[in-house]
Amino acid sequence: MLNAKYVPREEYVKLPFEERLIRLSKTEDERANELNDGLISVDLHSLTFHPFSGDEREAKPYPTERIGNSGLTCISETVDDFGHNPHHEFQIVARDVWHYTDFFPKQQGMGIALCADDIREAKRDGEQSVLVSIEMDGSQVIGPSIMYERGTPEEHYPFLDRIDVLHRLGVRRFDAIANFRGYLGDGCLERSDSGLSLYGLAFVERMNEVGMMIDTSHWGERSTLDAIEASKVPALISHAGARSLVPKNRRLKSDELIQALAEKGGLIGVCGIPNYLAQTRRQGVKDMIDHVDYIVDLVGVDYVGIGTDIVWGHHASLGVHRHYITHMGMDVAAEYMEGIESLEEWPNIARGLVSRGYSDREIEKIIGGNALRVMDEVIK
């Protein structure tokens, strides 16, 4: 841990930035700083910006300076306005996507990433990029699974072209099953898992065609395996972890699923959500690295990345967080994540990997290189 004694969250957030960093030897510290400065880093799933939500983030100014302090090259900003748009009406989703793609280029030193080369260019220019993503029930966003007549997927499911519209608006990642059962298939918190429907398979096919990353973070086990098998390009789990380390957490992924994902060249991002990766009072970046270690031992370093899924604010106090945890029979044991309480502490990822003995090349892959590889393979 960062501190010998436990520090309550209200005291922790007041600590100077240097005191929130993992302690390293002088040589390790210099190496970690060089890696953070020199490497491309990608957070596969971010929630720094929430213009319409009803929680404590609403109406707060965007933390541009703190995002800059993180040193991140790319954040994958996620539209998931459940409270603002509970029925996921397509017109509202499209407007919200436009709001994101309009907002970020107006921030100093930021721009929209439509492909991996945009992220590489941002690094060369000393700027930060934003990969716009969606996380919600895609079957509602796109339309009901109405079969008009037998024939092509377009004739079966006449609203699939809305995926094309979202792609043209700038969306490059879509997590389209939101925990429970929808027209596409079953989510990870559903009481049973029947996998993907025919509509879900058509959805995967259309995402392949337009060049959009299929994110299965909230999908059920069978649904995810179906998507991995059906997809012609690698699939993505942007924010999760290894269920073997926390068996009660159904949002984490089984060894079988992680292995199937890796066999098809996919990628799993380890999250930084409180109470997901451990059930102890003190949790933090150490637990994230524990899950990275486990996945690397299971399938190798080429198939793991980072997708923090953390917010600016008291994540563990959010109603949706407590709902997830209690729904799965777990405890809200920790009030925050030490060393990764916000994206400003992103440098601790590389520092933690340095402390565990990872090589420079391995760290390069984990914090950004593997994400770039998948984007190159998927995004057109």
Contact 332, 281 (CB under 8 A): no
With a cut of 80, say whether residue 49 has pLDDT above it. Answer: no
Q: In which band, very low, low, confident or very high, does the pLDDT at 199 lie, cut at 50, 70 and 90?
A: confident
C-alpha 132/C-alpha 306 separation (Å) is 16
Q: pLDDT tens across 150-173, in order?
A: 555 555 666 888 999 999 999 999
> By C-alpha distance, which of 307, 234, 224 is closest to 272?
307
What is the distance of C-alpha 231 from the center of its chain? Answer: 19
For residues 215 and 236, the answer to whether their CB atoms sit within 8 Å is yes
The one-character DSSP state at 367 is I
Which domains does the chain show, CATH number per domain? Answer: 9-378 (3.20.20.140)
Task: Say which amino acid occupies 278.
Answer: A
Q: What mean pLDDT is predicted for residues 202-215?
A: 95
Beta-carbon contacts of 25 under 8 Å, excluding residues fewer than 6 positions away, are none
Q: Residue 52: its pLDDT value, please?
A: 42
Look at the pTM and tell me if it is higher than 0.75: yes
Q: How confident is the model at residue 181 (pLDDT cuts 50, 70, 90)?
A: confident
With cut-offs at 50, 70 and 90, classify the pLDDT of residue 50.
low
